[in-house]
Amino acid sequence: MVWTVNLSKLVLAVYGFTLITGVPANILAFYTFWKKIRLRSTPTDVLLLSLTISDLVFLFFLPFRMVEAANMSWTLPYFLCPLSGMIFYAIICNSTFHLTAISVERYLGVAFPIKYKLKRNPRNALIAAVFFWLASMAQCSIVYVMQYHHHSNPNFTEPSKRNSCYDEFSEEQLKVLVPVRLQLFVVYFCIPVPICCFCYFRCIQILTNLPNVNSKKRMRSIGMALGTLLVFIGCFMPFSVSHLEGFIGGYSSEWRPYALLTCTLNACLDPFIFYFSSSAFRETFKSVLRELVRRMHLHWCFSAFSSLLLRSGATEQRIHRANDISSQ
């Protein structure tokens, strides 16, 4: 990848927006789900908490990428390059696992409410979440393999001696990397998307056919389905398509950096899904929003009162001066 000034500005703008919006929203989500799990946990709460932690870890490592974009080269200690790269890609894969599991859990709860309620266990969700983390890390350890791969070509510059991070690959590296990326395309996009579509379509269909279901609950299900599909199509699809294109052509796509930007936005879009999937998060969000509005209103009233006092004080001074002049 060749850094340009425009690309650097675009990357910094997207990463900055993701940090500013994603950090407070995910901290709020973490507080909500942690508090709820301590009182009474459900499988959905466990998965949502794990997804929130995943997003927070992603946001923690995002500044390293921002430094690279600002300098238009990798200037940080080299060990951070494969570490941040593996975390960056593993979190993307981990998110697809969690979103798919949440869709399946929601479908089972709607389609088989009595059976599933008797068998649902938060411990199973915890085991699934741990498996998702381990599987994602194992899949994306290819970053370390590529960065420390032994090269038979003596003219090839070792990655640690370059000022780039996981950007340039030799033909020998691509022979290993491209099939792995195709596997990522199949496992983390081709399989999850149909599962999510089926689960949420069936949820909406079942809720629509039930006469006694609250319209708000139906609209929340539709909102959650649309939010999840938005994340998969808007955030993950460009990145996944770059895997397929790279496998067909035997190279690393030149527009891949732009596809990664859409994946980054996932960290600030996930709270949108949390809002529709958890009543506890909705209540916490509303209470925080009310508090912010109250404080802003008080601040506005105080500012207006202060300016009124200043204006009245200035008016009184002018009156006193006029009286002094007239008395003279």
The answer to whether domain 5-277 has CATH 1.10.565.10 is no
Tokens of 271: 């709270």
Residue 236 near residue 281 (C-beta atoms within 8 A): no
Helix axes 192-209, 80-111, angle to 10 degrees: 30
Res. 28 pLDDT band, cuts 50 70 90? confident
Instruction: Give residue-wise pLDDT tens across range 109-164.
Output: 888 888 888 888 889 999 999 999 999 999 888 888 777 665 555 555 666 666 77
**Which pLDDT value is given to residue 128?**
94
Task: Report which residue type is found at 291.
Answer: E
- Residue 55 pLDDT more than 90? yes
Task: List Cβ<8 Å contacts ≥24 apart for 233-239.
Answer: 234/262, 234/265, 234/269, 235/262, 235/263, 235/265, 235/266, 235/269, 236/92, 236/96, 236/188, 236/189, 236/262, 236/263, 236/266, 237/189, 238/262, 238/263, 239/92, 239/263
Instruction: Give residue-wise pLDDT tens across range 292-324.
Output: 677 765 555 556 555 655 565 555 555 555 555
Span 41-59, mean pLDDT? 91
The more confident residue out of 35 and 276 is 35
pTM of the model: 0.82
Instruction: Give residue-wise pLDDT tens across range 88-100.
Output: 899 999 999 999 9
Residue 63 near residue 22 (C-beta atoms within 8 A): no
**Which pLDDT value is given to residue 96?**
93
**Which pLDDT value is given to residue 276?**
67
**Which pLDDT value is given to residue 194?**
93
- Residue 281 pLDDT more than 60? yes
**Which pLDDT value is given to residue 317?**
56
Instruction: Give residue-wise pLDDT tens across range 184-241.
Output: 999 999 999 999 989 988 888 888 887 776 777 777 777 778 888 888 888 899 999 9
Tokens of 116: 């599933």
Residue 68 near residue 149 (C-beta atoms within 8 A): no
Res. 325 pLDDT band, cuts 50 70 90? low
**Which pLDDT value is given to residue 41?**
83
- Residue 273 pLDDT more than 80? no
Query: What's the CA angle centered on 135, arms 202 and 281, to 5 degrees?
Result: 50
**Which pLDDT value is given to residue 250?**
86
- Residue 279 pLDDT more than 80? no
**Which pLDDT value is given to residue 101?**
93
